[in-house]
């Protein structure tokens, strides 16, 4: 693959992208570039006041694209259903769904509004439900894409189907890594299921490398401002070697816009250890390619969410 820097992004006028967690970090950087190329962007995030500020700031920048902010709490299925219905009401088609929102710094085990472990709910299960709800709109696009943001940390994780939500032995770092493994497994399984049904949707997992955002420093019920589930040395390493969000967003933008981006292929930065650089094919840990685990995760996700995500029936079903 030739080096891709984002300079070759086509005019995106007429295309609609939905981005979760688009009010900060790589989500905001991705939204800004899509707007700069004429796309219509829907940002979903749970901080309404921040969403309003971001919308005003992006509007002042004078981008040719258009922007809508809608409240979205990925830990609350009522919020997810309302978000999806609002999008369906206003947009006949969604060209790209970017599952970006992430939560990491939760020092003790908390539960979402639906009673699920919070990191797992926001990073993975909520995105599983959202993708199922927007799938019919995606299938109306000529080139539909689902971009799912995983992490280098997926390599350290394993799915424990006996305790997916970590009722025992809770560790925020461990739970975060498992949630990022789950979103990668989901993206690869979505690709397989679409191909098996002859559905030409691109399901593309990505990771941004090391990025200087606050995901490991800010979270619900932090005991002190400086608390983080990450060891101090690792946090300092991220600060020194990490990319700025606009560089970290390159893999997301590549997957969302480039004709070179292949469904079922995992992309990350091309630098040393995939920490920084331009998009290239990334390494997938062996546990992420376990198809038996992928099928079981899909089944468990349907059970936990009480949402049937049947790809083969999605051409004819409507939103929840």
pLDDT single digits (tens) 175-208: 999 999 999 999 999 999 999 999 999 999 999 9
Rounded to two decimals, the pTM is 0.91
pLDDT single digits (tens) 67-92: 999 999 999 999 999 999 999 999 99
pLDDT at 224 over 90: no
Domains and CATH numbers, the chain: 16-308 (3.40.50.720)
Question: According to the model, what pLDDT value does residue 2 have?
Answer: 60
Q: What is the 3-state secondary structure (H, E, C) of the chain?
A: CCCCCCCCCCCCCCCEEEEECCCCHHHHHHHHHHHHCCCEEEEEECCHHHHHHHHHHHHHCCCCCEEEEEECCCCCHHHHHHHHHHHHHHCCCCCEEEECCCCCCCCCCCECCCCCEHHHHHHHHHHHHHHHHHHHHHCCCCCCEEEEECCHHHHHCCCCCCCCCCCCCCCHHHHHHHHHHHHHHHHHHHHHHHHHCCCCCEEEEECCCCECCCCCCCCCCCCCCCCCCCCHHHHHHHHHHCECHHHHCHHHHHHHHCCCCCCCCCEEECCHHHCCCCEEECCCCHHHHCHHHHHHHHHHHHHHHCCCCCHHHCCCCCCC
Catalytic residue from among 124, 176, 266, 267: 176
Q: Is 176 a catalytic site residue?
A: yes
pLDDT at 248 over 50: yes
242 pLDDT tier (thresholds 50, 70, 90): low
């Amino acid at each position: 693959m030739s080096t891709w820097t984002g300079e070759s992004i086509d005019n995106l006028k007429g295309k609609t992208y939905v981005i979760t967690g688009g009010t900060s970090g790589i989500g905001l950087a991705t939204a800004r570039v899509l707007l700069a190329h004429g796309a219509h962007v829907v940002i979903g995030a749970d901080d309404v006041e921040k969403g309003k500020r971001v919308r005003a700031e992006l509007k002042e920048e004078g981008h040719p694209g258009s922007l809508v902010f809608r409240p979205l709490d990925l830990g609350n299925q009522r919020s997810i259903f309302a978000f999806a219905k609002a999008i369906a009401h206003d947009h006949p088609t969604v060209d790209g769904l970017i599952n970006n929102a992430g939560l990491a710094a939760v020092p003790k085990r908390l539960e979402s509004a639906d009673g699920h472990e919070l990191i797992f709910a926001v990073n993975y299960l909520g995105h599983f439900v959202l993708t199922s709800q927007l799938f019919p709109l995606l299938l109306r696009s000529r080139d539909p894409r689902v971009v799912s943001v995983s992490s280098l940390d997926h390599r350290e994780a394993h799915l424990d189907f006996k305790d997916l939500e970590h009722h025992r032995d809770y560790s925020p770092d461990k739970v975060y890594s498992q949630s990022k493994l789950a979103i990668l497994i989901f993206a690869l399984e979505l690709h397989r299921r679409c191909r098996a049904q002859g559905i030409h949707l691109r399901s593309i997992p990505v990771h941004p490398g090391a990025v200087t955002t606050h995901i490991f420093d800010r979270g619900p019920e932090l005991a002190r401002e400086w608390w983080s589930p990450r060891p101090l040395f690792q946090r300092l390493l991220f600060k020194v070697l990490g990319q700025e969000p606009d560089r970290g967003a390159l893999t997301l933008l590549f997957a969302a816009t480039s004709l070179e981006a292949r469904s079922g292929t995992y992309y990350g930065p091309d630098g040393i250890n995939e920490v920084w650089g331009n998009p290239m094919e990334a390494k997938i840990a062996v546990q992420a390619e376990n198809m038996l685990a992928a099928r079981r995760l899909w089944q468990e996700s349907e059970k936990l969410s009480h949402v049937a995500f049947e790809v083969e029936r999605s051409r004819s079903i409507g939103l929840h």
